[in-house]
Every structure is written in C-alpha cells, then in structure tokens.
Amino acid sequence: MTVYLIKSGICLLLLLAAYLLLLEKEKMLRFNRFFLLASLVLSLTIPVFTIQLPAVKLPMARIAPVQYILDNDISATVTTHHHIPTNNITIPGDVLPLSFYLLITYAIIVCILFIRFIRNLLVIYASIQNNTQVTSYNATIVLVPGDIIPYSFSKYIFVSKNAYENSAIENELLLHELTHVNQKHTLDILFIEMLKVIFWFNPVFILYKRAIQLNHEFLADEGV
C-alpha cells in the first residue's frame, strides 16, 4: 500500500507540474478541464498495473559444493545447539502492530471528513427546500435572505432575495453562474472533494481543487 501511495503521489505531482507549466495559461479551457480530471484518474490507476518483463536466462552455476557445505554447516549448528535449555525463554503476548493503529486512525479521520462532507450537502439542500425558488433558463434560482455573493450548486443558483427582487444583480453574474450549471462543474468539485476525504493526508489534492476551480472560473467567464 505504501508503494502504491508513493507512486500515485509522484504521478499526481508530475501531471500537475505539467499542467501548471504548459497548459494553465493557454486558452484551451475545455481541454484543461479534461486534463485535470484525467490526471486524477490516471494517477490513481497507473500504479495498480505492473509491467512484466521477459525473464533472462542465466547460465547454470555449479552449486553442488556450496550446497554440500551448507548442509554440513546446518547439521553442525543443529548438533551444537541441541541441548540449549529452554527454561528461561519467555514468549511475549499478542502485540498489535503499528500498522493496525495507523489504519484505525486513518479510518476515523475518513469517517469524520465524510460526515462533514454529507453535512455540508444537507445544509445546501435544506437551503433549497426552505427558500423561494424561481425557474430561469435551465437553472433554478434560490432566493436566500441576506446579502450573499451569487454561487451555484448542481442546477441551483443561490442569490440574495432582496437584490434579486430589486433587480440589483447584474445579468453577467447570473450568466456566469448559469455557465457553471450548464457545464456541470459541480460534478468536478464533488469528485475532488471525495478524493480529498479518502486521501486526506495528501496535500496535492488541495492544489488540484484550486486548479479545477480556477479553470471553472475561466470557463464561466468565457461563457459570459
């Protein structure tokens, strides 16, 4: 497992470095989105596979004399130590290995992060159910009390109720969030958030989330 984590971590870093150096400033925004998501998938799957190289046949060495010496040494060792007393030998009780405690710690943290992830989703859907909804274009606008910056989740766009009713929200802002909705950017965020829950110990996923969100903003600006 440790080898897999090291290999996947190296793949993540290399692909992210390639993106930041070669693609981030390019205007291939849709390809960049695909590259970031594909980098995550490939980095987690490539280390699973192993490449089998053909075995090289080496000439047989004469090992009979060596085997004869080993047999004699083993016989001599057994004979010499045959009468070692065993009264003072103590057998330790069952001791759990360190890996067991590390696994338990990992599982507890994953459970805590997953519960927080589910709680955040429930808060969003509670806001949807408890506030006025207006259907517009291909999205549903949720009118939230108080002053908030418009944001989107799935097919929903959350805006200030007071600003919306007074036509104080610029159309560009609504079109920006509508692009997020139409291009289903929420799926990307949910995907990276689940990876962050599972691989919470790897900070590279935080960098990937930032790169994905920045790419989403560029795509939304282009849509406007």
Tens of pLDDT, residue by residue over 126-176, are: 999 999 999 987 889 999 998 999 999 999 999 999 999 998 988 899 999
Q: What is the pLDDT of residues 52-81, one digit of tens each?
A: 667 666 666 555 555 554 455 555 454 445
Q: Which residue has the higher pLDDT, 97 or 112?
A: 112
Mean pLDDT of 16-31: 93
First-last CA distance in the chain: 46
Q: Which residue has the higher pLDDT, 84 or 16?
A: 16
Q: What is the pLDDT of residue 210?
A: 97
pTM beyond 0.85: the answer is no
Instruction: Supply the DSSP string of 78-133, one letter for each residue.
Output: HHHTTT---TT---------HHHHHHHHHHHHHHHHHHHHHHHHHHHHHHHHHSEE
Instruction: Write down the pLDDT at residue 18.
Output: 95
Taking only Cα atoms into account, the Rg of the chain, rounded to an integer number of angstroms, comes to: 30
